[in-house]
Structure 1
Amino acid sequence: MDPIDPAAPVAPGNTVAGAVGSTLARLGVDHVFGVVGSGNFHLTNAMTAAGARFVAARHECGAVVMADGYTRMSGRLAAVSLHQGPGLTNAMTGIAEAAKSRTPLVVLAADVTEPRSNFHVDQHALATAVGATAMRVTAAESAVDTTVSAYRTAVTERRTVLLNLPLAVQEMPAAGPVALPAPPAGEPYATSGDELAALVEALRSAERPVFVAGRGARLPGSREALSDLAGACGALLATSAVAKGLFHGDPWSLDVSGGFATPLAAELITAADLIVGWGCALNMWTMRHGRLIGPDATVAQVDVDSHALGAHRDIHIGVHGPVIDTARAALEALGTAHTGYRTEAVRERIAAEGRWRDVPHDDDSTPDHIDPRALSAALDELLPAERVVSVDSGNFMGYPSAYLSVPDENGFCFTQAFQSIGLGLATAIGAALAQPSRLPVAALGDGGVLMGAAELETVARLGIPMLAVVYDDAGYGAEVHHFGPDGHDLATVRFPDTDIAAIARGNGWEAAQVRTVSDLGAVATWLAGDRSRPMLVDAKVTSAPSWWLEEAFRGH
């Protein structure tokens, strides 16, 4: 996140709305996403007048998810601008996702405090209910201070903050020009010497250590710090899904741990005698409900949030501290390097079996439907390496997550903390704006793309050269495969075949149906062209329960 310059003066404009908007822009917020109505019109214009780019979504939930994706993939805090009442309620699923993911965002919402107004809802309670932090601007004199507090809370505590702006207060004359207050001195982390010593001793004595890096390791310098320490103690490297790509290209990388793990990764992680989570919750998804932890394994966790230590499972060692600083301190204290898990035999197996594309499977494709594994492998071969992949939720999601490689941790955007379908397309828009030099790829299910279809127009209007791949099995696959084996009536979760390609064309996209691998020639043609319009692939896939979903359901 961009640092605050305490000496920079704020040009508040004529009203509180102007002061709030210009303050955020001066703090470094360069993108604001939203849907504009009467309550946030002046606020949004104040931000654009101060230099921020406004990105108009077609639905408020999409606006929040775009901001979430942008912040995750750029490392720069984005803002959201919403109308009062229904503008906020429409956005709540996106706010819940961001809050559960600890994405730093400032959501600006106009607010009606008159209970008899049609627009009135308890906006503070709405935010609190989904885990966001609620604040309110209550007076002209304190508007800048409250705005700065919202920004700092979002950045320093990694929180999604809802800043409510009552209409009557927005219209008040702003206070005179104000300098931004100096940021408070940071609190040192209370890492004890005993905690670090215990971790170092575990690293020193482990014969088969594995590092699992999570969201907290997606900071610049984390890869280098963890790779150096892993090399000294002989650890293999893995990530949670949200940090996929962090160790891309490292010969000792197992890629993703958990439901998306390859059979080899699952085997090697389960055999580990030490598992260290670095900024990683080690939750049921990353550890397959604990089945990836061997019975005699030592479990350690490093996190800046002391409440995260041991939150999802019992741990033997907990270190409260930043990933990079802790890894460097451990490396300095470790002493003599040793081989650990890094034997030649293990390296050869990772090279031969380390990708899902290397795992044999029976191709279930028919003349009318393509196996999603064959589709995903062919796409990985076809697409340029410099890509940013965003994945919606659903039965299909394991295929693009596992088969599509990404160049680094900023190449994979995974808004799945709330497990809502329909967020993937908006996620991809935010990721594309954050990484404009890469090909944006949206991996969607048919249910999710139809739920979020309003943003198809947004992609075309913004001129984003996006490839959207729809894994279309004409139903809600997770429910079909969960309830179908027990003989339940599935009429409520199956749908007639839909021409999603035609819907995309109506919104300004190029589009093609794909039923066989040879049909992907349309994608090759698009890639070789000027990509002046986005491209949607409506892939009619075979319907089968995904391996990751079977793993997830075993935990219930």
Structure 2
Amino acid sequence: MRVFEKVAETLVGLGVRQVFGVVGSGNYDITKALVEHGATYVAARHEGGAASMADAFARVGDSVPAISLHQGCGLTNAITGIAEAAKSGSPMLILTAEVAASAIHSNFRIEQDRLVESVGAVSFRITRETAARDVALAYRIAVTRRIPVLVNLPLDVQGAETTEQFLPSLPGLAALSSLVAPATGAVTRLADLIERSERPVVIAGRGGRNAGPELRELARASGALLATSAVARGLFNDDPFYLDISGGFSTPLAARSIRGADLIISFGSALNMWTMRHGTLIGPEATVVQVDVDPLAPGKHRPISLGVLGDSAVTAAAVTEELQKRGLSRVGYRTEEMAKAIKCEGRWQDVPYEDLGDGERIDPRTLTIALDRLLDKERVVAVDSGNFLGYPSAFLDIPDENGLVFSQAFQCVGLGLASAIGAAYAQPDRLPVLGTGDGGALMASAEMESVVRLGIPLVVIVYNDSAYGAEVHHFGESDHALGLITFPDTDFAAIARGYGFTAATVRTPRDLDPVRQWLAGPRDTPLLIDAKTVSFASWWLEEAFKGH
């Protein structure tokens, strides 16, 4: 057996079933071997797309994905997607060919390990004698640290013969996750704070997504309202005391309620400027507690009263048990009035607004609310970055915590379309939906061919304001240099049809009939909606600008 075959056998044995990539001479053998051992390979049109596909799959899928890249330029093309994955805590393997150590003058030679380490990933290099052990360790690091891991595959090592007998039988992602139990003293202190509080709020972030039932029980026992960061949206969907998103996307009701809390307990949330609106969602008398498995997380972004090192589910269960021992059971923040308010105004769809549509351009709120009513409820939504971001993220309902791919940790435009492809493979029984701006759609347009070729029934919503809208509203519409960030209108419907999409241009709600027709079937092509939207600063962007 040659080394690349041993690497493929080991990875598939560990549970790597989904691979995205762009094949070149250096990674042809390893990609082919992965497929022969049972992995599914998806060919992207750009390595950056492959990285974003894998990132999305890691967020809402059930296994650790891999990307397969050519040496040198294949990795540099992918680095922005890798940076997003690293900043978001997405476990994935980056299988990258590497020039032989002796090929010191190769055009492809770069310091691949230093490149990925500079954006927060980890690097390994296989050797002929220990290749299987090397990739097993890389897999374990990816899972336990929830981070992208580069596996350098030197060309001279890949093709060498190996007699290595190591064949790991490591369990999957859930079993390898670190279930850190909190210290008894920390549980007692947190229970004390809850007992003294009258209006507690529990906020779950990415690290709390595994703890839905336990956090619900804690909230019931303590009388707390529930909220999530954007990346954990949907975790408490059917709870009558779920405020939806905490932060820039908060509804007015959610913002008032969180700001009125006297105790905020974060489970796996960074409590950064986005989740806490630069700290304005923390009332002057509020006590803040942060629970996380990372000992460096508590207090990283803002002062806290108590940091608890522990897994979200384990910690929540332990605190609930302590409260039950004390006989604590109360209404707290969970009043009938609050339940009624959440039912009436807890969703953005229920918040009144002035429709700014003028017949030529549609209000993005009107558009998104209408699409929310039309599209399948079983959906997975991916979003790109820009002024439009809040509309698909907060106005489109999702079925659960695996219904939104929120690739915003690096705040990069252009990752959305590839993310939607990865989400479609991670959640194949759901309708994939992408919300993107015109800038992001043009940056990622090569992957439109991938959508058609792969037969994905994707709905692409292009919020087309013919500008980099976030910059327009950041620098002001009176700026004399606004031409730097505004553009002539692009006919995305025509572009999409060229790739093989069904497409519709939407200027008013009446223009949505083609969407209804497509939804009625057979959905044998993807659908693109070129929505000519009114340009105005979105509410979340105005909140973000307050921090500058």
TM tier relative to shorter chain: over 0.9
Structure 2 Cα separation of the partners of residues 553 and 451 of structure 1: 25
1:322-341 matches, cutoff 5 A: 322-335=311-324, 336-341=328-333
Amino acid across the alignment from 1:68: D
Number of the residue aligned with 1:204: 195
Q: 1:162 aligns with which of 147, 150, 162?
A: 150
1:419 equivalent in alignment to 2:411: yes
Distance change (3 Å), C-alpha of 1:313 and 1:298: same
Distance change (3 Å), C-alpha of 1:438 and 1:167: same
Structure 2 Cα separation of the partners of residues 265 and 186 of structure 1: 32
1:49-60 matches, cutoff 5 A: 49-60=36-47
Q: Give the secondary structure class of the aligned counterpart of 1:396.
A: helix
Number of the residue aligned with 2:85: 98
Shift of 1:468: 0.5
Number of the residue aligned with 1:22: 9
Number of the residue aligned with 2:69: 82
Amino acid across the alignment from 2:88: S
1:9-408 matches, cutoff 5 A: 14-112=1-99, 113=101, 114-137=103-126, 139-180=127-168, 189=180, 191-219=182-210, 222-335=211-324, 336-408=328-400
Structure 1 Cα separation of the partners of residues 54 and 355 of structure 2: 38
Q: Give the secondary structure class of the aligned counterpart of 2:476.
A: helix
Q: Which runs of 5+ in 1 are unaligned?
A: 1-13
Whether the 8 Å CA contact 2:143–2:177 is kept in 1: the answer is no
Amino acid across the alignment from 2:539: W
Structure 2 Cα separation of the partners of residues 520 and 150 of structure 1: 48
Give TM-score scaled by structure 1 length. 0.95
Whether the 8 Å CA contact 2:13–2:169 is kept in 1: the answer is no
Superposed CA offset, 1:218-266 (max 9, x none): 22xx111111110111110100000011111211011001000000100
Q: Give the secondary structure class of the aligned counterpart of 1:144.
A: helix
Q: Give the secondary structure class of the aligned counterpart of 1:230.
A: helix
Structure 1 Cα separation of the partners of residues 268 and 169 of structure 2: 31
Structure 2 Cα separation of the partners of residues 439 and 179 of structure 1: 38
Shift of 1:400: 1.1
Whether the 8 Å CA contact 2:143–2:176 is kept in 1: the answer is no
Q: 1:447 aligns with which of 428, 432, 439?
A: 439
Amino acid across the alignment from 2:34: M
Amino acid across the alignment from 1:472: N
Whether the 8 Å CA contact 2:376–2:431 is kept in 1: the answer is yes
Distance change (3 Å), C-alpha of 1:475 and 1:167: same
Structure 2 Cα separation of the partners of residues 409 and 62 of structure 1: 23
Amino acid across the alignment from 1:285: W
Distance change (3 Å), C-alpha of 1:244 and 1:48: same
Whether the 8 Å CA contact 1:140–1:175 is kept in 2: the answer is no
Structure 2 Cα separation of the partners of residues 232 and 24 of structure 1: 43
1:513 equivalent in alignment to 2:505: yes
Structure 2 Cα separation of the partners of residues 179 and 346 of structure 1: 56
Shift of 1:180: 1.7
Whether the 8 Å CA contact 2:10–2:167 is kept in 1: the answer is no
Shift of 1:115: 2.9
Superposed CA offset, 1:273-310 (max 9, x none): 00011111111000000000001100001111111111
Q: 2:401 aligns with which of 387, 404, 409?
A: 409
Shift of 1:178: 2.7
Structure 2 Cα separation of the partners of residues 323 and 176 of structure 1: 40
Structure 2 Cα separation of the partners of residues 388 and 185 of structure 1: 26
More displaced, 121-130 or 480-489? 480-489
Number of the residue aligned with 1:10: none
Q: CA RMSD in A?
A: 1.4
Amino acid across the alignment from 2:379: R
Number of the residue aligned with 1:432: 424
Shift of 1:205: 1.6
Identity percentage over the alignment?
Answer: 56
Structure 1 Cα separation of the partners of residues 444 and 488 of structure 2: 18
Q: Give the secondary structure class of the aligned counterpart of 2:124.
A: strand
Distance change (3 Å), C-alpha of 1:468 and 1:319: same
Structure 1 Cα separation of the partners of residues 476 and 232 of structure 2: 33
Superposed CA offset, 1:467-490 (max 9, x none): 000000001001111112562411
Shift of 1:185: 9.3
Structure 1 Cα separation of the partners of residues 512 and 207 of structure 2: 37
Q: Give the secondary structure class of the aligned counterpart of 1:178.
A: coil
Structure 1 Cα separation of the partners of residues 176 and 432 of structure 2: 39
Distance change (3 Å), C-alpha of 1:161 and 1:537: same
Structure 2 Cα separation of the partners of residues 404 and 241 of structure 1: 12
More displaced, 478-487 or 297-306? 478-487
More displaced, 98-107 or 112-121? 112-121
Q: Give the secondary structure class of the aligned counterpart of 1:506.
A: helix
What is the count of residue pairs matched by the alignment? Answer: 540
Distance change (3 Å), C-alpha of 1:119 and 1:381: same
Whether the 8 Å CA contact 2:181–2:315 is kept in 1: the answer is no
Shift of 1:78: 0.2
Give TM-score scaled by structure 2 length. 0.97
Q: Give the secondary structure class of the aligned counterpart of 1:410.
A: coil
Shift of 1:189: 3.1
Shift of 1:526: 0.3
Amino acid across the alignment from 1:438: R
Structure 1 Cα separation of the partners of residues 435 and 531 of structure 2: 11
Superposed CA offset, 1:26-82 (max 9, x none): 111110000000000000011001000000000000001101111111131000100
Q: Give the secondary structure class of the aligned counterpart of 2:408.
A: coil
Superposed CA offset, 1:415-456 (max 9, x none): 110000100011110111111111100001000010001110
